Structure 1
Amino acid sequence: MRIAQIAPLYERVPPLAYGATERIVHYLTEALVASGHDVTLFASGDSVTSARLVACCESALWRDERVEDTLGHHVHLLERVAQRAAEFDVLHFHCEPLHLPLARRLDTHCVTTMHGLLREPDVGALLRAFSDAPLVSISASQRRAMPFANWRATIHHGLPADAFGLCTSPGDYLLWMGRMMRGKRPDLAIEIARRAGLPLKMAAAVHPGERAYFADEIAPLIESSAGFVDYLGEVGGDARTELLRHARALLFPIDWDEPFGMVMIEAFACGTPVVAFRRGAVPEVVEDGVSGLVVDDLDGAVRAVERIDELDRRRCRAAFDVRFTAERMARDYLRVYRSLARGAERDTDLQSSRPQPAAR
Structure 2
Amino acid sequence: MRIAQIAPLYEAVPPYAYGATERVVSYLTEELVARGHDVTLFATADSTTTARLVPVCSRGLWRDAAVWDTLTHHMRQIGLVIRHAGQFDLIHFHGEPLHFAWADQLPCRTLTTLHGRLLPHDHGPLFHEFARVPLVSISASQRRPVPWANWLGTVHHGLPPREFDYQPAAGSYLLFLGRMMPEKRPDLAIEIARRSGVPLKMAAKIHPGERDYFRERIAPLLRRSTDCVDYLGEVGGAERRQLLANARALLLPIEWDEPFGMVMIEALACGTPVIAFRRGAVPELLEEGVSGLMVDNTDEAVEAVARVGRLERAACRAAFERRFTAARMTDDYLSLYQSLLTPNADADADTAALPRKAAASDGERPLSPLEPL
TM range (shorter): over 0.9
Please give the secondary structure, in 2, of the residue aligned with 1:339. helix
The CA deviation at 1:58 is 1.5
Name 2:114's counterpart in structure 1: 114
The CA deviation at 1:72 is 1.1
The CA deviation at 1:224 is 0.2
Name 2:299's counterpart in structure 1: 299
Amino acid at match of 1:277: F
In 2, Cα distance between equivalents of 1:343 and 1:128: 24
- Cα deviation, 1:106-144, whole Å, max 9, x if unaligned, reads 121000000000001221110110111100000000000
TM-score by length of 2: 0.92
1:272 equivalent in alignment to 2:272: yes
Moved more, 30-39 or 248-257: 30-39
In 2, Cα distance between equivalents of 1:150 and 1:121: 17
In 2, Cα distance between equivalents of 1:229 and 1:209: 24
The CA deviation at 1:227 is 2.3
- Cα deviation, 1:151-204, whole Å, max 9, x if unaligned, reads 001000001010001101132100001110001000111111111110000000
The CA deviation at 1:251 is 0.3
In 2, Cα distance between equivalents of 1:131 and 1:146: 12
Amino acid at match of 1:154: T
1:94 equivalent in alignment to 2:85: no
- Cα deviation, 1:200-245, whole Å, max 9, x if unaligned, reads 0000000011101100001100100012100000000000000000
In 2, Cα distance between equivalents of 1:343 and 1:259: 31
Please give the secondary structure, in 2, of the residue aligned with 1:41. strand
- Cα deviation, 1:65-106, whole Å, max 9, x if unaligned, reads 111111111111011111111111100000100000111211
In 2, Cα distance between equivalents of 1:166 and 1:217: 35
In 2, Cα distance between equivalents of 1:228 and 1:310: 23
Larger Rg: 2
Matches within 5 A, 1:231-250: 231-250=231-250
Name 1:211's counterpart in structure 2: 211
Name 2:148's counterpart in structure 1: 148
In 1, Cα distance between equivalents of 2:204 and 2:6: 26
Amino acid at match of 2:218: I
Please give the secondary structure, in 1, of the residue aligned with 2:104. helix
Matches within 5 A, 1:262-341: 262-341=262-341
Matches within 5 A, 1:1-360: 1-344=1-344
Amino acid at match of 1:147: P
TM-score by length of 1: 0.95
In 1, Cα distance between equivalents of 2:72 and 2:175: 38
Unaligned residue ranges in structure 2 (runs of 5+): 349-373
The answer to which structure, 1 or 2, has the higher relative contact order (CA under 8 A, 6+ apart) is 2
In 1, Cα distance between equivalents of 2:107 and 2:148: 24
In 1, Cα distance between equivalents of 2:148 and 2:129: 11
Unaligned residue ranges in structure 1 (runs of 5+): 347-360
- Cα deviation, 1:36-72, whole Å, max 9, x if unaligned, reads 1111100011100000000011111111111111111
In 1, Cα distance between equivalents of 2:63 and 2:208: 12
Please give the secondary structure, in 2, of the residue aligned with 1:95. coil
The CA deviation at 1:343 is 3.6
In 2, Cα distance between equivalents of 1:311 and 1:59: 41
In 1, Cα distance between equivalents of 2:187 and 2:288: 24
The CA deviation at 1:334 is 0.3
Please give the secondary structure, in 2, of the residue aligned with 1:226. coil
Please give the secondary structure, in 2, of the residue aligned with 1:162. helix
Amino acid at match of 2:110: C
Q: Using a 3 Å threshold, how does the CA distance of structure 1 residues 343 and 130 change in structure 2: closer, same or farther?
A: farther
Q: Which runs of 4+ in 1 moved over 4 A?
A: none
Amino acid at match of 2:205: A
In 1, Cα distance between equivalents of 2:227 and 2:289: 31
Query: How well do the aligned residues superpose, as a CA RMSD in angstroms?
Result: 1.2
Please give the secondary structure, in 2, of the residue aligned with 1:79. helix
Please give the secondary structure, in 1, of the residue aligned with 2:112. strand
The CA deviation at 1:329 is 0.2
Number of aligned positions between the proteins: 347
